[in-house]
Amino acid sequence: MGRIDKGEKCSVSNCSNEAERSISADKVKAAGLKIGSDTRAYLCKEHYKEYKKKSKKDKLLDKWRHGM
């Protein structure tokens, strides 16, 4: 049983929703979301959607850089 199953809250400041995903904190900070200084970032459904939108271009560039 992981931390999300135990009821971890969203790591984004001023959000108290239940977390649904766990992502590296460095990637979340690079996408522009404000989180604490943990090694993992726990995101609720709304903030995960926002993270995906903001990191879409970076993922595409990495895909091209590494030859698909």
Residues ≥6 apart with Cβ < 8 Å to 47: 10, 12, 15, 17, 33
Query: Exposed, middle or buried: residue 56 (CB in 10 Å: 0-12, 13-18, 19+)?
Result: exposed
Spell out the domain ranges in the chain. 1-68
Residue 28: phi and psi, rounded to 5, are -70, -40
What does each of the 68 residues of the chain score in pLDDT, given as a tens digit?
Answer: 788 889 999 999 999 999 999 999 999 999 999 998 788 999 999 999 999 999 999 889 989 998 86
Give CA–CA dist 36/40, Å, rounded.
Answer: 10
Give CA–CA dist 12/46, Å, rounded.
Answer: 11
